[in-house]
């Protein structure tokens, strides 16, 4: 057997650290997982044995004195983590893996209108997805045939290999290349699905979209995604909601917002009117002297709450419209009205108290 120091390429005076470094460098290029050649495998064993001996002070001393540098048994595992770091070990999978795999999740975007959000809505969504193969029912084999046990791994799906590690023999296992780790081989793959157990199809998924959803919300529909390989469990379907903008009504949380233009004369004298909300008519009574920027709140006519009970409110911002075109008679009437009024002063106010911010504050406050 070659000299342990020569095998590792270090001097007789090398420190433990230098020996460790040399071994790591060699192991990286010779480990069977990296370098499948028979030569490399032999050298790897040699290098590992040399390292085992020289990294242990007692064994190294014996070796230096002409001893055999005995093959130490399994140790306390202090280097196990190094080994794992090198080779991505740590796999504890035992036995063949199942062909059945969980299907992937899918994401669909769904657009809904604001009026649909008030009470929730229903959609029948067309989804391109994977469904169970009817021919083989997910078995992946042609009907009447069955998979055979892999004769390379004898059904275990794993190839075991003894590897000399830092501290003795270690059994490593890797997926069997012949059966790809399944332990069985499908000799007559189903023709319909090419042995996948599933086929692509267009499917209709009925979806109840709850009231109160908002743009960006994701609804999870467990088990409504594609079916897995070989009849494995379905993935989940996610619906990402987008609420289309409405040309009149907007939204603040569960409240619906709009504005109402009121003629100056109606604002002065008061008026009863009916407006068409998203969920039907709403009767309004504007009291005499209604001001611009007043907000009428209609309780319970907003959006049904996604979480919790009840509905938000409908909030209507009043905008008094000043007439711009008056005929001669109207002008005279207004003039005589104005002449009869004592208080004609204009008054300065803080900008923040102006119409725009008042409306906004009342809406959002």
Residue 156's contacts (CB-CB under 8 Å, 6 or more residues apart) are 95, 96, 176, 183
Subset of 300-329 contacting Zn ion (CB under 5 A): none
The yes or no reply on residue 130 touching Zn ion (CB under 5 A) is: no
Nearer to Zn ion, 11 or 91 (CB): 91
Tell me if 227 contacts Zn ion by CB under 5 A. Answer: no
Minimum distance of Zn ion from residue 204's CB (angstroms): 22
Q: How far is CA 295 from the centre of its chain?
A: 41
- Which residues fall within 8 angstroms of residue 15, CB to CB, at 6 or more apart? none
Work out how close the CB of 178 gets to Zn ion at its nearest, in angstroms, rounded to a whole number.
4
Q: Which of 255, 321, 335, 330 is nearest to 290 (CA)?
A: 321
Size of the site for Zn ion (CB under 5 A): 12
Residue nearer to Zn ion on the CB measure, 26 or 179: 179
The string of DSSP letters for 213-277 reads: --TT-EEEETT-SPPPGGGPPP--EEEEEEEPPPSS-EEETTEEEEEEEEEHHHHHH-EEEEEEE
Report if residue 135 touches Zn ion, rule: CB under 5 A. Answer: yes
Answer for which of 7, 133, 227, 303 binds Zn ion (CB under 5 A) is 133
104 versus 178: smaller Cβ distance to Zn ion: 178
Q: Name the segment binding Zn ion (CB under 5 A); options: 169-177, 224-232, 315-323, 326-334.
A: 169-177
Is the CB of 183 or the CB of 212 nearer to Zn ion? 183
Q: Which residues contact 300 (CB under 8 A, 6 or more apart)?
A: 310, 311, 313
Q: Whose Cβ is closer to Zn ion: residue 137's or residue 245's?
A: 137
Q: Determine if 209 is a binding residue for Zn ion (CB under 5 A).
A: no
Tell me the per-residue interface mask from 147 to 166 with Zn ion, x by CB under 5 A, - otherwise: ---x-xx-------------
Burial of 237 (0-12, 13-18, 19+ CB in 10 A): buried
What whole-number distance in Å separates Cα of residue 22 and Cα of residue 3?
Answer: 15
Kindly state the smallest distance separating residue 73's Cβ from Zn ion, in Å.
31
Q: In this structure, are residues 353 and 342 in contact, taking their beta carbons and an 8 Å threshold?
A: no
Q: Does 178 bind Zn ion (CB under 5 A)?
A: yes
d(CA 247, CA 323): 25
Output 172 or 304, the one with its CB closest to Zn ion.
172
* In the complex, least distance from residue 201 CB atom to Zn ion, rounded to whole angstroms: 13
Closer of 181 and 317 to Zn ion (Cβ):
181
- Contact status: 176 vs Zn ion (CB under 5 A): yes
Does 136 help bind Zn ion (rule: CB under 5 A)? yes
Collapsed DSSP state (helix, strand, coil) of residue 196:
coil
> With respect to Zn ion, which residue has the nearer C-beta, 154 or 299?
154
Question: Least Å distance between CB 14 and Zn ion?
Answer: 43
The residue written with tokens 């030569």 in the block is 39
> Binding Zn ion by CB under 5 A: which of 30, 47, 166, 190?
190
From the CB of 32, what's the least distance to Zn ion, in Å?
18
Say which residue the tokens 């969980």 belong to. 102
Specify the length of the chain in residues. Answer: 365
Of the candidate residues 114, 163, 193, 241, the single one contacting Zn ion (CB under 5 A):
193
Question: Tokens at residue 309, please?
Answer: 């009970």
List of residues contacting Zn ion (CB under 5 A):
133, 135-136, 150, 152-153, 176, 178-179, 190, 192-193
């Amino acid at each position: 057997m070659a000299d342990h120091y020569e095998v590792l390429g270090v001097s007789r005076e090398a420190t433990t650290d230098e020996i460790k470094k040399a071994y790591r460098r060699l192991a990286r290029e010779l480990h069977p997982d990296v370098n499948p050649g028979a030569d490399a495998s032999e050298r790897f064993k040699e290098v590992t044995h040399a390292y085992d001996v020289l990294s242990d002070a007692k064994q190294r001393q014996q070796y230096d004195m002409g001893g055999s540098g005995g093959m130490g048994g399994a140790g306390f595992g202090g280097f196990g983590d190094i080994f794992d770091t090198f080779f991505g070990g740590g796999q504890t999978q035992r036995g063949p893996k199942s062909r059945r795999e969980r299907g992937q999740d899918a994401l669909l975007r769904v657009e809904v209108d604001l009026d649909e959000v008030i009470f929730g809505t229903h959609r029948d969504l067309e989804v391109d997805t994977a469904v169970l193969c009817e021919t083989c029912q997910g078995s992946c084999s042609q009907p009447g045939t069955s998979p055979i046990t892999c004769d390379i791994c004898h059904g275990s799906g794993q190839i075991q290999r003894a590897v000399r590690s830092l501290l003795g023999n270690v059994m490593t296992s890797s997926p069997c290349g012949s059966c790809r780790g399944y332990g069985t081989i499908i000799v007559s793959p189903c023709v319909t699905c090419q042995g996948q157990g599933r086929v692509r199809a267009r499917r209709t998924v009925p979806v109840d979209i709850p009231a109160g959803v908002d743009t960006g919300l994701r609804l999870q529909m467990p088990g409504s995604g594609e079916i897995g390989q070989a009849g494995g469990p379905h993935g989940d379907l996610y619906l990402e909601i987008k609420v289309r903008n409405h040309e009149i009504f907007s939204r603040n949380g569960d409240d619906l917002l709009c504005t109402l233009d009121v003629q100056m004369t109606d604002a002065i004298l008061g008026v009863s009117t009916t407006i068409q909300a998203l969920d039907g008519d709403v009767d309004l009574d504007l009291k005499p002297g209604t001001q611009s920027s007043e907000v009428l709140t209609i309780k319970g006519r907003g959006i049904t709450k996604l979480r919790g009970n009840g509905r938000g409110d409908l909030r209507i911002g009043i905008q008094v419209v000043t007439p711009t075109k008056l005929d001669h008679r109207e002008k005279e009437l207004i003039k005589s009205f104005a002449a009869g009024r004592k208080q004609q002063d204009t008054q300065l106010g803080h900008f923040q108290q102006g119409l725009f911010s008042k409306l906004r504050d009342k809406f959002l406050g």
